[in-house]
Amino acid sequence: MDAEVAALNPAPEVSVARGRVADPDLILRARSGEAEAREELAAHCRRSAYLFALHLVGDPDEALDLAQETVIRLLGALPRFSPERPLRPWLLTIVRNLARDRWRRLRLRRAESLDAPELDLSRHLADPASDPEHDARRAEVRRALWTGLSALPADLREILVLRDYHDLSYAEAAKVLGVPIGTVMSRLHRARNRLRGRLVAERPDLFSEARQGGAGHDD
């Protein structure tokens, strides 16, 4: 039994996503205005910025605009940034603020709720056929997961994306969202449970796959 419980929270690993930490030296060189370093830093940041923006707004073109604007703002504010601080929470905070501004403009224009953008995130998943390690069933779990995620309220979707898709720590997610760590934990649990409940109800066949910890990390 001990082993079964221990397997539920194995020692933290540095995942592929978390492994992409900007080199402090690169940040310093970019801060000093070195063009090559700025380009390299921009390339480093834009993937994370794009994916988070896509998760928030659901539209690839809009996400690309947000990501580009994010990188521009990040580079513009570099002189105020301390290289010792983690870069990703700051980067994702900029994305989130820009997305919020966009929602605000949409709401003013259409008199809609901030939580109302209609998303269909699952169609932006990469084609599983392009990766031989993916089987169709696992891809289906992912799509079901994304479809469920799209239906969550914005605050629950944000926290789930930050933690389970971008692999931010609780402290980093708290920084991005501007909430205490305890709120991160409770909100995250609420989001996970709501998603789990939806999947169990709608696709119990697929959910048994997820239950078994079906997919490995495969970047």
Partner 1 sequence: MTTDCRRSFDESLLSGFLDNALGQQDEQRVRVHLEDCSSCRAQVAELRGLREVALSSRFELPSDDQWDEKPRGGVSRLFRDLGWLLLAVWIVGLAGYGVTEVWTGAASLLYRLMAFGGISAVALLFLSVAIDRWSSYPLDRYREVRK
Q: Restricting to residues 80-99, which ones interact with partner 1 according to CB under 8 A?
A: 80, 93-94, 96-98
Contact status: 11 vs partner 1 (CB under 8 A): yes
d(CA 145, CA 207): 9
Whether 37 contacts 15, CB under 8 Å: no
Q: Which of 19, 85, 189, 204 binds partner 1 (CB under 8 A)?
A: 189
Positive or negative, the CA dihedral 23, 27, 32, 33 is positive
CB closer to partner 1, 110 vs 212: 212
d(CA 125, CA 57): 14
Query: Residues, the chain, total?
Result: 219
Whether 140 contacts 199, CB under 8 Å: no
Contact status: 25 vs partner 1 (CB under 8 A): no
Q: To the nearest whole angstrom, how small is the minimum distance from the Cβ of residue 198 to partner 1?
A: 11
Contact status: 219 vs partner 1 (CB under 8 A): yes
Q: Which of 2, 82, 132, 201 binds partner 1 (CB under 8 A)?
A: 2
The Cβ-side half-sphere exposure at 21, using a 13 Å CA radius, reads 13
Q: Restricting to residues 29-68, which ones interact with partner 1 according to CB under 8 A?
A: 33, 35, 38-39, 42-43, 46-47, 50-51, 54, 60, 64, 68
Q: To the nearest whole angstrom, how small is the minimum distance from the Cβ of residue 116 to partner 1?
A: 18
d(CA 83, CA 88): 12
Q: Restricting to residues 137-176, which ones interact with partner 1 according to CB under 8 A?
A: 138, 141-142, 145-146, 160, 163-165, 167, 169-170
